Structure 1
Amino acid sequence: MRKYQSQDQEAIIKMIDYIYREYGDKIYLEGADSDLLDIEANYLQDGEFWVEQASTGQIIACIAVKKSTQNSSNPLIASLKRFYLLPEYRGSGLAQQMHNTVIEWCKQNHVAQIYLWSDTRFTRAHSFYRKHGYEQKGIRDMNDGAMPYQEYYFIKNIM
């Protein structure tokens, strides 16, 4: 796994679109996925974005984290974002390695909690999150994609 480079942008967008199409959806750069049009500004100022490549050079996975503080009395929190693996790499241990990288980054950056929103259709991902100590806390309706969808909220204490 390596840190994002600007030349990765198009391949990341294509990979995520491919994964969305597994679920009858598509990438929506005009709304929900507009952060991918400027990964540097959206992730690299207060976080990190990583990719995994196959031996062919193809981007096969990505993951990002972005920290934020709600106010000075709250612990530092971070959002887990853009955690995607092509289908043929799921179950290979790669997701675990990528997640470990994010958790280590959080510890180094004094992040006490990590949270994420995940499309309700991504049931395999939800099993992964629960297995790794995330608690499912809520659900919301979304209208910023190519079609309406719902997301589950997950949170995990790190420190």
Structure 2
Amino acid sequence: MNEIPIVKPYSNEHQDQVVDLILQIQQREYNIPITKEEQPDLFTIKDFYQKGHGNFWVAVFKDQVVGTISLLDIGNNQVALRKMFVDKNFRGKRYKTAHLLLDRAITWMKENSIKSVFLGTTPQFLAAHRFYKKHGFTSIGIEELPKNFPLLQVDKKFYQYSLT
């Protein structure tokens, strides 16, 4: 039987591993020229994400953070899905890390009466595009985003998932 990662809410003990994982994927795997200084939310996760209808989770395998996902409360019972990253060794069917993370986030949305979730991603994340579509997200144009959606410079592709 394969062991699988455990998804749990972020706590400060995960800080360094979360930053390392996200930067590794952004910079080295996808060559996106973004620095940790350009992502101050990574250093204030509790204050930035874990408030209102928002939260931040980590997938942990043998004390190592191998995945992240967050929901940012943007008001009107809507959230923005942010910081979904999975270590390349934990992607796919063997560990189901992305699926576990997304399931946890969707459960949270249902428990908190969230109507819909929006996300922005980069054109380079082709596997992510397929993943979101496979899990019921619909591609939308930038003009369909809520006014309070936190638009990032690197985001060029957008999706929505409705719970109503």
TM-score by length of 2: 0.82
> Is the aligned partner of 1:7 residue 2:13?
yes
Whichever residue aligns with residue 30 of structure 1, its letter is E
Query: Which deviations, in whole Å up to 9, do the C-alpha atoms of 1:56-78 show, x marking residues without a partner?
Result: x11111111122225xxxxx111
Segments of 4+ in structure 1 off by > 6 A? Answer: none
| Contact 2:57–2:68, Cα closer than 8 Å, also in 1 | yes
CA distance in 2, matches of 1:13, 1:85: 12
Q: What is the identity, as a one-letter code, of the residue corresponding to 1:101?
A: R
The offset of 1:150, in angstroms, is 4.4
**Aligned counterpart, 1:41:** 47
Quote how far apart the aligned CAs of 1:9 are. Answer: 1.0
Pairs aligned (count)? 147
Change in 2 beyond 3 A, CA 1:68/1:139: closer
Amino acid at match of 1:62: T
Cα pair 1:17 1:26 within 8 Å, conserved: no
Counterpart contact for 1:139–1:150, Cα < 8 Å: no
Report the Cα offset of residue 36 of structure 1. Answer: 0.5
> Does structure 1 residue 91 correspond to structure 2 residue 92?
yes
- Describe the shift of the 1:40–1:150 C-alpha distance in structure 2 as closer, same or farther (beyond 3 A): closer
Cα distance change on mapping 1:60 and 1:110 into 2, 3 Å: same
Match of 1:102 among 83, 90, 105: 105
Structure 1 distance, partners of 2:22, 2:152, is 18
Q: CA RMSD in A?
A: 1.8
Select 1:151's aligned residue among 122, 132, 156.
156
TM-score, normalised to structure 1, is 0.85
Secondary structure in 1 matching 2:68: strand
Q: Which has the higher strand share?
A: 1
1:69 aligns with 2:79: no
Q: Deviations over 1:98-119 (max 9, x none)?
A: 1111111001100011110111
Would you say the 8 A contact 2:69–2:85 is kept in 1? yes
Q: C-alpha offsets along residues 63-97 of structure 1, whole Å, 9 cap, x if unaligned?
A: 11122225xxxxx1111111110001110322111
- 1:25 and 1:79 map into 2 onto residues whose CA distance is 21
